[in-house]
Structure 1
Amino acid sequence: MTLKAALMAIRWDEINPNKGAKLTRPREIYASLQGRKWPRLRPEQNEVLEAWYDRRRESDLVLKQNTGGGKTLTGLLIAQSSLHEGIGPAVFLVPDSFLIQQVVDEANDAKIPVTRDPDAEQFRSSQAILVTTFHKLVNGRSAFGVRGVKKVIPLGVVIVDDAHAALAATNGLFAATVPASCKAFEQLLKLFSAELREQSPKAFAEMEAGDHGAPIRVPTKAVAARTNEIMNIVRPHANDDKIKSLYFSWPFVADSLKFATVTFTSRVVEIKTPCPEVALIPAFRQAKRRVYLTATLEDEGVLVTELDADPGAVRKPITPNQASDLGDRIVLAPLSINPRLADSAILKLARNFADGDRDGDGKTDATPVNVVVLVPGDYAASRWSEIANATLHVADMGPVIERMKKGEHIGLVVLVNKYDGVDLPGDACRLLIIDGIPTPLTPNEQRASAALTGSMYFRAREVQRIEQGMGRGIRDVSDYCAVLILTNEAALTLRDPQLRQFYSPATRAQVELSLQIAEQIDGEGADVIADLLDTFLERKTQWVSKSLEATADVTYDSAGTVTPLAEGRRKAFNLAMAGDADGAVQVLRKAIDTITDPLLKGWHLEELATYEHFVDPTAAQKTQAAARKLNSGVLKPSVAPSRKKVVGPAAQGKAAAEYLGDRYQDARTMELAVASLFDNIAWGVEHGADLAEEQIRLLGLHLGFGSIRPEKEDRDGGPDNLWALTPQQHAVIELKTDVSRSKPVIIKSEAAQLVHSMTWFGKQYPDAGEPTPVLLHPSELLDSAAHVPGGTRVMTKSHLQDLRSDVEAFVKELASSASWADPKAVATGLERNQLTAAQIVPGHSKRIR
């Protein structure tokens, strides 16, 4: 080859003049990347990267940027800078495999070398960043090594993208789950049957029958006494890679079984430690740098409890100087604007915008847009089925999402249980609809949800999930997306100032601006809401100028939220694992003393009792009894506290007025809250019974009755709900709203539960009159083998709908006259709407056949 030919063969575009210089400042690295898609970094990216560079030697750092603020590129540049500095290898972790390609594409656009192969020489030699899932690194069979089991591959820097979603994934990774199909399930059920039955006779009976039911935790004493038996039962199945929920997680709990929370449902047994033992993955725990990228993680304390991050560093998150690095959004809750809007009107509005028919006259008058609907599950997705162009789940959404991101108009797309980790920039999504909040799935999450419903901690988590969902539609400061919040419960998070505070500052500013505009169309129909959405989507000056003004001076919270509880829980677990149970008790007790929320305090006193059992078993039972007094959702102690009997009102109108007056300051909040009670009673949905029972309890209180949940509070065979209608009249209520059989007649076991509950009532309330047995069930027909108590009444779905209509009419009357705190007006309204003690059961149920 001649010299000229050799020179012609050189690929000049691959030559990098700075390759040997090893620039370390991220902005300089970016400026040196030839062929990059974006000519320069955004100001907010520069601010964050400069702040990181000054603090880069800290082992744990949190970087907070608004959704669409360019977090991914920020994280890639941090990894590249670390490699240039000799801190490698570098891993960029995403919550699920769907997101790997998104990060690779962004890296390719920026000309940052990456690989998806953990065995690639480029990664091992610190020449490229590995992009993989959080699960690939953090699991009991980690390809990067497990302490004492598998050779460790050292890492220099770990970037955790979408840290909130990665943490959600962690819950499953660190909990070993034995499915009912595994032989070990039956053996474990037999091992702990006596303790489970003692905790809840009813839930245990449902579990044995294979029915959906409330999860039951095994008492600490029983777990501690039988750790060897648990080990012998589970270990033979732990190496079966077909049982992935056990195969990847068992190593995390096997050496700490005595501290484990063991929770049963009819489907699985979950074995989970109080905090994850991340030290088992040295590649993660010993990495020189761990950087957590997040947009909506308002409570950074979970990084401490779940991933053992340094509390001091986490309390000082790195943020841009301003929080205005956010795409434009209008956030509306149609049911807050008009509680009487029909579902059909909202569905029609969504379909019209997807079709470009914004005035609803059947003709195209605007550019059709992609409308994306986020739903928590298939039950919620079903109501969109007739108008959706596509209903997608995590496993199959990839191809359609890619088409949307390329600008293709699909129409109305429903995403099932995917509230984070999906980027829908630009025309991929112009109208985003959030139809419900994701429900807890694991046994421990179900228990926590039931125990903490009503606490501000629980509501804060709901707001975080909603905000994660909102973020799907804006991926750039110049992007824009309208957001509709559909359910009454979610609408309350916008309207209630106490709940609104849990949104991040920039989102809160957008919500508050949207609320001001919504107030001006209060009570209007879907056509007026459509006009407002059109004003936003057409980028009319009236909206854009006000929106820019609203967010111009918004800043991020300067301090990360790491509560004494979060820090104390992690310290206590680490001490316990090191053999210092006494130290764990002291640390955690001090942290719990800072809690003011009684439900949250009771929940964590249960955790304290777990450690205390190994120091002083008698004191542990006293702690458990104290926990139980504060929160009926925790374990029963060996000696149960005295039971409080419910007493019916002497004057129902007065009792209801006192409850409503204390609870609600404005009419619209009251209307939304009451509507959400009925929204949360879902028929035929697994795991929905506990939430439904809580709504019936709250409904009773709203109507002025004494109302409790004996089975949850005492777990001694009592009914799901007990309404004290008057001092002498009671309704014993059993719920079977989760029945999903194709022929849902009332079967023998369901009828027997009502019989047992009536027997329970006779023992507990011997001086009361004969109660009315009530069954909430999808059928009013009785199986030939089933026998119910005399006088049993059934409330079916249609009866419950009638009750909803009457309750909402009652509330509407009070709202319109602002008289919900007036005993006389409330009493009159109860009578007029068939809601008095004498009317409510006969008027909204049927004698069983």
Structure 2
Amino acid sequence: MVNFAKKLKNRKKEIIIDPIKIYESLDRQTTKVGPLRKAQIQVLKEWFEKRLRDKDIILKLNTGAGKTLIGLLILESKLHQRIIQKEQSYGIEVFLCNNNNLVMQTIEQAKLFGINAVTINTNNEIPSEVINGEKILITSVQKFFNGKSIFEHTDSPEIDTIIIDDAHTSAELIKQSCTLTITKEENAQLYTDLFYLVSDGLQSQGEGTFEDLKNNITSDDSAFLPVPYWTWIDKVQKITQLIASRANLSTELKFVWPILENSLSWCNCIVSANSIEITSLKYPIDFYTKFTNANQRVFMSATTASDAVLINDLGVSESAIKHPLIYPDEKWSGEKMVIIPSLISADFTRGSMVHLFGSQKPKHFGITIIVPGYYRSHDWKKYGALVGESNILQDALKKFSNNDFQSPLVLVNRYDGIDLPDDETRILILDSLPNSTSLFDKYIDDVIPDGSEVILRKAQKIEQGMGRSVRADTDYSAILFIGSDLVRFIRNPKFQQYFSKQTLTQIKIGIDISKDAKSEYEESKLDTSGNNEMKPLIELIGQSLKRDEDWKEFYKEQMGEINYSQKPSQNVSLIVNKNKIMELAIDPTSNIEKFTETVQEFIDEFCPTAEEKGWYLQLLAHVTYKYSKSKARNYQVAAYKRNHKLLLPDNLNPVKRIEPLIAQKRLENIINQVKTYKTFENLQNTVNEITSNLSFGTERKKFEKSMDELGKILGFETDRPDENYKKGPDNLWSVKDDLYFIIEDKSEVLESRDKIYKEETGQMNNSTAWFEENYPGIRYRALMVIPTKYPDSAGGFNSDVRIIRSHSLKLLKKNFINFTREFRTLDFSSLSADQVSKFVVIHKLEVDKFIDNYSEKYYR
């Protein structure tokens, strides 16, 4: 063997620390990887020359621009720097991925570039080559962030640099690591013990929902109740004992309990029929000391993502958010033809789109649908689409990657983490507005649905969903928005400010071309030669898929006009200041007077609505409770008065009666309500959303809200006693001067159900009793919305109750739609009571005929 070492003129080998030069020196597999791209060079140069010592860095590049390689080169540079400065304790270099599959992919990618990388060994230990500074460690977010993390052992090494790939998805995973979820499936006895321990507090926040949870009538997490903080804190010692007794015996507990065991008083607790969720007021990211103390933390993010939420979620610095590491010449990536079918025609409803695309049998490309929950997947499945449930999802994705497109694929709440580029998805459909997944996030959505951070996170999910099908500069797809709630959201000027400039431009292009297609649709209706009403929509999609040159040029022209010099508002100041008060909230050493002052200042500056003011007053009450119960109650009363969806204080009777309705006032109400929509298109979108939600299988909150909105458009005075006062019926309508409708909604009951359960008849009896107590001597009709009219023999109604079953509900929706269509050509500013009165009669919506038209007697 030739000894080349002897032949070297200079035996001393230079150690390179410049990441660009490192790449040039690597033993790369050059047939598979080429030189660095311009964007990669620029970003690495900026990092090495100016950002080397920054604590936090947000690395933002378009999807497919090579962020992973940049991250690996940063860590390789740090390894080399450690060799030069071996006297200093640099710590290890860590790259985190979202799951184990991505860990293995990233290790393989590192090998292609000639970068030495390993993962956690089979003994669940950090390899010695990593500790010795010889190799980069690549592992998963889940392995790093858990209550028994090997990185938090006393003898575990410090961290020099940690890089988190896909920071927003990682943040959600990290939040899950800090959330204690006790499921009935795995910990039935603990669930039951805790449920009954806090049952007095639960019942005070919603008697009807409490009965559903107690009797296991609801089978999912759509029905839930918050445990009042006063109940929680008063019983926290017993709660701690119960959980601690099971913590080491249960997989779902042992990896989270160490994080929360000493801070339960500063936690929220939400209870559903399936689980109990315990969440800290602020996610305790400081538990992970090696993460918080790392010399440098690099968070990789797509250019469309709003990074401000990472301040709360991961403790990222304000400076990093405001000054991301970017390629300044980078613009937009890929081509997205956004289409909004309902703007082309009122007939292109969500239902018609599900029928059209769900029944397709594509051969040459994939059709992918993203729905917010399983409740939105059933009709897709009925028409032939494959629902990607967890047990079959990987096989379905593998078929798509092998160009096997037998049917459309429905992804349930998978707005990130799944990439379907090129032919794997040429038509992407976002069906309905994204939902929250955790119980606490669902609670926030319920009590402050228009809160700034709530809207920001929804906009972020929509952007993430849009990114599933376009993963590179040369990629393209048609993206359809269906579902009236989603369409209303993306068209709301108040909400549009939360989208990135790229996404907002794409949405505006979509609105523009959808309206252009509308004129073609009108022309197609005049053509009686065949069934061609879908032609304008199909042709528009075809212009993307068939690579119409004019469309491509138009898209480039529009996207090229984006002004990137003006940074988009990310509500950074709001979230920075919120983060400060949340840090004070969980700090047991903080001064309560200072905390009170800080919260009041935050409310004054950042809370424009009564609902948000109430939310932060409730936080103030929660923190104050341990210091002064009387002050806490005063704050809670103030919070509740601003927002009736918040916790109802004990011994407070908040019922505000709705006044009787005279006939003429009903007509005035209809006119005034219609005027609030300003245009028929806005009215139509609302009506579509209402009628879509008024179907069996819909989540109860959405159903009840839509029933309330239906009543308002029909001119009635409405209330939601169970929502607002925690007692009484789901909906209450004042329909004429001497009559009220009491409505109990059972929207989640399966249409195959043959009996009304005893507990459900009991709820109706409680609702009528509530009405008689709060509206003494007033006449009422009781209505239950449920698929069956046969009460269980063990139960029964105490008064005459009418049943609204599926066929009656469909007839009511049909007549309601036709009623609102009468306003299509009218000037909303000059509506007359005579006109509206005729519409009410024509479409059979008179009060005196309502009961007979839309309900039936129950079978005794």
What is the Cα deviation at residue 597 of structure 1? 2.5
**Counterpart in 1 of 2:611?**
599
- Does the 8 Å contact 2:350/2:482 carry over to 1? no
CA contact (8 A) 1:425 1:474 kept: yes
Residue aligned with 1:130, SS:
strand
Greater shift after overlay, 458-467 or 744-753?
458-467
Q: How does 1:55-454 map to 2 (within 5 A)?
A: 55-86=51-82, 88-117=91-120, 119-145=126-152, 151-180=155-184, 181-212=187-218, 214-242=223-251, 244=252, 246-295=253-302, 298-322=305-329, 324-341=331-348, 345-347=352-354, 349-350=356-357, 355=362, 368-385=364-381, 388=384, 390-394=386-390, 396-405=392-401, 409=405, 411-454=407-450
Aligned to 1:359: none
Structure-2 change in CA distance of 1:613 and 1:299 (3 Å): farther
Does structure 2 conserve the Cα–Cα contact (< 8 Å) formed by 1:814 and 1:820?
A: no
**Greater Cα shift, 575-584 or 817-826:** 817-826
Question: Displacement, 1:411?
Answer: 4.8
Seen in structure 2, the aligned counterparts of structure 1 residues 809 and 741 have a Cα distance that, compared at 3 Å, is closer
TM-score after normalising by structure 2: 0.89
Q: How many angstroms apart in 2 are the aligned matches of 1:134 and 1:611? A: 31
Which range moves more in the overlay, 783-792 or 554-563?
554-563
Structure 1 residues 402 and 833: CA distance shift in structure 2, 3 A:
same
1:735 is aligned to 2:745: yes
- What's the CA shift for 1:342? 5.7
Cα offset, 1:647, TM superposition: 2.4
Contact between 1:394 and 1:416, CA under 8 Å: does it hold in 2?
Answer: no
Quickly say closer, same or farther: Cα 1:352–1:449, change in 2 above 3 A: closer
Whether the aligned pair in 2 keeps the contact of 1:657 and 1:821 (CA below 8 Å) is: no
CA distance in 1, matches of 2:490, 2:171: 25
Between 1:90-99 and 1:807-816, the stretch displaced more is 90-99
Please say if 1:781 is aligned against 2:790: yes
Name the counterpart of 2:525. none
Deviation by residue 1:598-648 (Cα, 9 ceiling, x = unmatched) = 222222221121112233322221111121122222111235364322224
Q: Tell me how far 1:520 sits from its aligned partner.
A: 1.1
Match of 1:626, SS state, is helix
- Structure 2 CA distance for partners of 1:106 and 1:702, relative to 1, 3 Å: farther
Residue by residue, what CA displacement relative to the aligned partner does 1:334-357 show, whole Å, maximum 9, x if unpaired?
Answer: 12321212667534653687536x
Deviation, 1:288, is 1.3
The residue aligned with 2:553 is: 545
1:795 alignment counterpart = 804
Deviation at 1:555, TM superposition (A): 4.7
Is the Cα–Cα contact under 8 Å of residues 609 and 621 in structure 1 kept in the other structure? Answer: yes
Moved more, 512-521 or 205-214: 205-214
CA distance in 2, matches of 1:609, 1:59: 35
**Contact kept? 1:667, 1:818, Cα under 8 Å:** no
8 Å contact kept, 1:609–1:620: yes
Q: Take 1:351 and 1:215, find their aligned partners in 2: how far apart are those partners?
A: 32
Q: Please report the RMSD computed on the Cα atoms of aligned residues, expressed in angstroms.
A: 2.9
Report the CA distance shift for 1:51/1:680 in structure 2 as closer, same or farther (over 3 A).
farther
Deviations 1:281-315 (A, max 9, x none): 11211111112222277553322222222223323
Tell me which residue corresponds to 2:628: 616
Q: Distance in 2 between matches of 1:677 and 1:418?
A: 25
User: Contact 2:819 / 2:839 at 8 angstroms: preserved in 1?
Assistant: yes
Separation (CA, whole Å) in 1 of partners of 2:827 and 2:74: 57
Contact map agreement 1:346 1:526 (CA 8 A) in 2: no
| TM-score (normalised: structure 1) | 0.90
Alpha-carbon distance between aligned partners in 2 of 1:767 and 1:495, rounded to the nearest angstrom: 46
Q: Is the 2:350–2:483 contact (alpha carbons within 8 Å) kept by the matching residues of 1?
A: no
The verdict on how the C-alpha distance between 1:256 and 1:470 changes in structure 2, with shifts beyond 3 A counting, is same
Task: Tell whether the 8 Å contact from 2:359 to 2:385 is kept in structure 1 after alignment.
Answer: no
Greater shift after overlay, 517-526 or 397-406?
Answer: 397-406
The 5 Å alignment of 1:488-637 reads 488-522=484-518, 524=521, 525-556=533-564, 558=567, 561-575=570-584, 576-582=586-592, 583-594=594-605, 595-637=607-649
Native 8 Å contact 1:392 1:414 kept in 2? yes
Q: Give the direction of change, closer, same or farther, for the CA distance of 1:771–1:44 in structure 2 (3 Å limit).
A: farther
In the TM superposition, residue 458 of structure 1 has moved relative to its aligned partner by: 3.4
| Distance of 1:629 and 1:541 partners within structure 2 | 58
Q: CA deviation at 1:796?
A: 1.8
CA contact under 8 A between 1:654 and 1:826: conserved in structure 2?
Answer: no
Is the 8 Å Cα contact of residues 761 and 795 (structure 2) preserved in structure 1? yes
Deviation per CA, 1:248-269, whole angstroms, max 9, x where unpaired? Answer: 1112211111111122223222
Q: CA deviation at 1:527?
A: 1.6
Deviation for aligned residue 1:323 = 5.6
Equivalent position to 2:688, from 672, 675, 694? 675
Q: Does 1:710 align with 2:721?
A: yes
Distance 1:344 1:728, change over 3 A: closer
For structure 2, the residue ranges without an aligned partner over 5 or more in a row are 83-89, 522-532
CA distance in 2, matches of 1:447, 1:127: 48
Matches within 5 A, 1:637-676: 637-640=649-652, 642-650=654-662, 651-662=665-676, 664-676=677-689
2:213 and 2:273 in contact (8 A); partners too: yes
Conserved in 2, the CA contact under 8 Å of 1:460 and 1:502?
yes
Contact kept? 2:304, 2:503, Cα under 8 Å: no
Q: How many aligned residue pairs are there?
A: 818
Aligned AA (1:724): S
The CA deviation string for residues 675-697 of structure 1, in whole angstroms up to 9 with x for no partner, is 11232345346xx1122211111
> Which amino acid letter does the alignment assign opposite residue 731 of structure 2?
N
Change in Cα spacing, 1:838 to 1:75, as seen in structure 2 (3 Å) is farther
Q: Which residue of the other structure, out of 20, 23, 29, is the alignment partner of 2:22? A: 29
1:419–1:468 Cα contact (<8 Å) kept? yes
Structure 2 residue corresponding to 1:758, chosen from 750, 768, 792:
768
| 8 Å Cα contact 1:656/1:701 also seen in 2 | yes
Contact 1:256–1:577 under 8 Å retained in 2: no
Q: 2:843 aligns with which of 825, 833, 842?
A: 833
Equivalent AA in structure 2 for residue 547 of structure 1: Y
Q: What is the deviation of 1:658?
A: 0.9
Structure 1: runs of 5 or more not aligned: 357-367
Structure-1 residue corresponding to 2:34: 39
C-alpha separation in 1, matches of 2:393 and 2:318: 37
Tell me the distance in 2 between the aligned counterparts of 1:342 and 1:73.
44
**In structure 1, distance between residues paired with 2:755 and 2:343:** 38
- Shift in Å, 1:473: 0.5
Structure 1 stretch displaced more, 295-304 or 623-632: 295-304
Match of 1:361 in 2: none
**Separation of aligned partners in 2, 1:18 and 1:697:** 82
Aligned mates of 1:795, 1:19 — CA distance in 2: 87
Please point out which of 781, 802, 813 is paired with 1:804: 813
Task: For residue 815 of structure 1, report the CA deviation from its aligned partner.
Answer: 2.1
**Hey, what's the Cα distance between the residues in 2 that align with 1:542 and 1:441?**
41
Deviates more, 1:68-77 or 1:464-473: 68-77
